[in-house]
């Protein structure tokens, strides 16, 4: 029996709850269905799959406080390179899937030269389209340097959306080596209520809005809160719940004017398995991102049967179809966001129609089983790990 080809996945923070590590763990699981897969990270994911976990010891540089990001990212990338060189022998038919520009720039070139492996980069964002204030000056400089090197050096770039694919080509990636593989969704992980009938609110109830995500500049939560205040002044009854935490949490709470505080409730971070119930208690999920490669919250909300009002950025338009399962607005425009919410609040037939189309628009199209099949096809094609290499059947 021939051995299955060996594939490595590398990403920081697979056990931290962040989106990059979470996607990387799913990629390892899906690749493990056909390849002998190992996941390299500085923290293990909460769930396990058909892959080996290889820990990467990374200094935390805590005395540097907010200046620790740059040395920590570089140290992790270097640690991944060393771990891969210990784990694999030159000449093995394998691919390394690196999540992020810095990891690809620091480790990818050396791995390609020393091991002769195909290096694929998964791009989760692009520094050149992030809003001001997303990163500090030193981290921005590192990302700008790493992006140029990674796009040129990677044997292939896996983009989470068509917008990210276009940014990759603009950044120097070869057009014929850029592949769009979106994230998937596992609605069962959100809790047992994900496919239950939604409770019907009373006619006098305020329109229930929901935001789920990291409270950071690029997520545009400030714009959503401003839109809620505009709607209140115009006489539209809405209520907003915010699920999540992040660097902007305190500023967002403090910035709400006293007469509008009763309209916004901060629920803090919530475990994944509670989200279905929270989604399904809302009428509309708002995703007002100023920059977003492919927010998983869009897939989660729609899978739970809840329409989405989102910004026309990143991967959101790949999933949200205007007037069918949600509405699209320009990023950073609170008044236009308020107008879209008011449109839904004033048209119950539109809301009901979008609710009816929500789940079918993403499920099973974006099931991890389906997106995983796309991922395995890209990796096999780029690395030459096709059926003739023993991928199918394994013997």
Q: Give the contacts of 278 (CB within 8 A, at least 6 positions apart).
A: 210, 212, 241, 243, 267, 270
DSSP state of 290: S
Q: Give the contacts of 338 (CB within 8 A, at least 6 positions apart).
A: 226, 227, 228, 230, 231, 234
SS3 state of residue 16: coil
Q: Do the two domains 6-184+367-383 and 188-365 of this chain adopt the same fold?
A: yes
Angstrom distance (rounded) from CA 393 to CA 240: 51
pLDDT for residue 381: 93
pLDDT for residue 395: 30
List, as one string, the DSSP characters of 191-215.
-GGGGSPPPPPPTTSPEEEEEES--
**CA pseudo-torsion sign 19, 20, 23, 25:** negative
Q: Looking at the domain that runs over 6-184+367-383, which CATH code has it been given? A: 3.40.50.2000
Find the mean pLDDT for residues 232-242: 95
- Domain boundaries 188-365, CATH class: alpha beta
Find the mean pLDDT for residues 177-193: 93
Q: State phi, psi for 97 to the nearest 5 degrees.
A: -100, 105
Is 253's pLDDT higher than 70? yes
Closest by Cα among 378, 389, 390 to 27: 378
Per-residue pLDDT reduced to its tens digit, 276-334 = 999 999 999 999 999 999 999 999 999 999 999 999 999 999 999 999 999 999 999 99
Residues above pLDDT 90, as percent of the chain: 69
Angstrom distance (rounded) from CA 185 to CA 367: 5
Is 210's pLDDT higher than 80? yes
CB atoms within 10 A of CB 346: 11
Average pLDDT of the chain to the nearest whole number: 89
CA dist list (Å): 140 to 111, 121, 129, 145, 315: 25, 19, 11, 9, 22
Find the mean pLDDT for residues 4-29: 91
Number of helical (H) and strand (E) elements in the chain, helices listed first: 14, 13
Place of tokens 């003739």: 388
Find the mean pLDDT for residues 174-191: 94
pLDDT for residue 2: 53
CB atoms within 10 A of CB 74: 17
Domain coordinates in residue numbering, the chain: 6-184+367-383, 188-365
CB 317 within 8 A of CB 296: no
pLDDT for residue 139: 77
Angstrom distance (rounded) from CA 119 to CA 131: 29
Q: How confident is the model at residue 389 (pLDDT cuts 50, 70, 90)?
A: very low
More confident residue, 303 or 92: 303
pLDDT for residue 85: 87
Q: State phi, psi for 49 to the nearest 5 degrees.
A: -145, -165
């Amino acid at each position: 029996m021939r051995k299955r080809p060996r594939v490595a996945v590398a990403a920081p923070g697979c056990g931290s709850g962040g989106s990059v590590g979470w996607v990387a763990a799913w990629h390892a699981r899906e690749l493990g269905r056909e390849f002998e897969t190992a996941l390299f990270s500085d923290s293990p994911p909460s769930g396990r799959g058909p892959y080996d976990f290889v820990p990467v010891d990374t200094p935390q540089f805590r005395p540097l406080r907010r200046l620790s990001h740059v040395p920590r990212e570089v140290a992790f990338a270097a640690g991944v390179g060393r771990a891969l060189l210990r784990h694999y022998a030159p000449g093995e038919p394998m691919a390394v899937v690196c999540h992020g520009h810095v990891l690809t720039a620091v480790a990818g070139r050396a791995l390609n030269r020393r091991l002769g492996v195909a290096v694929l980069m998964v791009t989760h964002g692009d520094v050149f389209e992030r809003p001001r204030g997303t990163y500090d000056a030193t981290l921005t400089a590192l990302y700008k340097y790493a992006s140029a090197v990674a796009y040129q050096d990677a044997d292939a770039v896996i983009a989470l959306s068509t917008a990210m694919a276009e940014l990759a080509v603009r950044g120097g990636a070869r057009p014929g080596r850029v592949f769009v593989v979106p994230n998937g969704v596992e609605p069962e992980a959100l809790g047992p209520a994900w496919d239950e009938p939604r409770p019907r609110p009373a006619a006098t109830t305020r329109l229930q809005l929901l935001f789920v995500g990291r409270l950071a500049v690029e997520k545009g939560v400030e714009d959503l809160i401003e839109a809620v205040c505009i709607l209140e002044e115009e006489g539209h009854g809405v209520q907003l719940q915010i699920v999540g935490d992040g660097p902007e949490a305190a500023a967002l709470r403090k910035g709400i004017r006293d007469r509008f505080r009763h309209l916004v409730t901060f629920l803090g971070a919530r475990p994944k398995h509670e989200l279905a119930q929270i989604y399904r208690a809302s009428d509309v999920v708002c995703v007002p991102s100023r920059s977003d490669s492919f927010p998983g919250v869009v897939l989660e909300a729609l899978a739970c049967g809840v329409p989405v009002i989102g910004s026309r950025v990143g991967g959101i338009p790949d999933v949200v179809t205007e007037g069918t399962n949600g509405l699209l607005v320009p990023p950073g425009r609170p008044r236009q966001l308020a107008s879209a919410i008011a449109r839904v609040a004033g048209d119950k037939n539109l809301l009901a129609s979008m609710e009816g189309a929500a789940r079918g628009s993403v499920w099973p199209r974006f099931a991890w089983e389906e997106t995983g099949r796309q991922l395995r096809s890209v990796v096999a094609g780029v690395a030459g790990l096709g059926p003739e290499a023993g991928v199918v059947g394994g013997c």
